[in-house]
Amino acid sequence: MRDVALVTGAGSGIGLEIVRALFRRGVRVLGVALGQSELDDLAREARESGAQLDTLAIDLTQAGAVEQVLSHAAAGGLQVRTLVNCAGIGLYGEHLSLDDAAVARMVALNIGALTELSTKLARSMVARGHGQILNVASTAAFQPLPRLCAYSATKHYVAAFTLGLAEELRGTGVSVSLLCPGTTNTPFIQSAGIASGTRTNRLAQRLSMTPEDVAQAAMSALDGPRGFVVAGRLNRAHYALSRLLPPRALMRAFERVTRATS
């Protein structure tokens, strides 16, 4: 069996840059993404750089998808030493106006697939006595967010699940880490429904980190003893503020800002 890092959301944005950072370390990667064309581009990049890459295009929101990922790895003789759960969907807007199916899909990916992958792979890692899990949440986990209420709720879950699991697995040889990036300059902003050209979109772009910087923070999370990394100084200040102020104060401030910039 060959050790591999399994990265979900590997085709674009933060996930893609995490894959590239792992390539630079000489790590073999199993990249999982929804789009085959994105993975084909990544495979060409891997061949040109001499990196080792396996890919699987799959919709992780579908029933049985996680089992298909694990079966694919086993059939290829791959043993997942590192899991990076980076795939995620965001939805922006008044919650009652959002499409029900889109919300269900977001919950299935952000919570369901992440939990199932973490759980099943953690069991095999504990049995071996080593392994790493990195779950990517968001600064949206720090407080409830109007117009992002379902999305922020999924990230609250990711944070609570990851930190709780990290404590349970302390001393097993398996590390479980949480990464919270803020707004990042990726297709995620527009795909969440924050339309290009709006003031909210422009504000998000001005506050954005680069995916390369977030990937560097992800490597620090995998390397370091801390189980919780907030990417970026501004986001760390946001986290500190969220510990000091009542959630309602931050929630109302966010609501006023988004209402003014829509």
Torsion of CA 30, 18, 177, 85, to 10 degrees: -50
Residue 124's CATH number: 3.40.50.720
- pLDDT, tens only, 137-184: 998 888 888 889 999 999 999 999 999 999 999 999 999 999 999 876
Predicted pLDDT at 225: 77
Predicted pLDDT at 203: 47
Predicted pLDDT at 218: 95
- In the predicted structure, residue 116 carries a pLDDT above the cut 70: yes
Are the C-beta atoms of 106 and 151 separated by less than 8 Å? yes
| Mean pLDDT computed over 239-258 | 60
* Residue 66 in tokens: 């996680």
Q: How far apart are CA 98 and CA 15, in angstroms?
A: 26
Which is it for strands 131-136 and 78-85: parallel, antiparallel or unpaired? parallel
Give catalytic status of residue 151 as yes or no: yes
The single residue of 92, 151, 157, 239 carrying the catalytic annotation is 151
Range of the domain at 230: 2-261
Element (H, E) at 136: strand 131-136
Question: In total, how many domains does the chain have?
Answer: 1
Single-letter code of the amino acid located at 216: Q
- In the predicted structure, residue 64 carries a pLDDT above the cut 70: yes
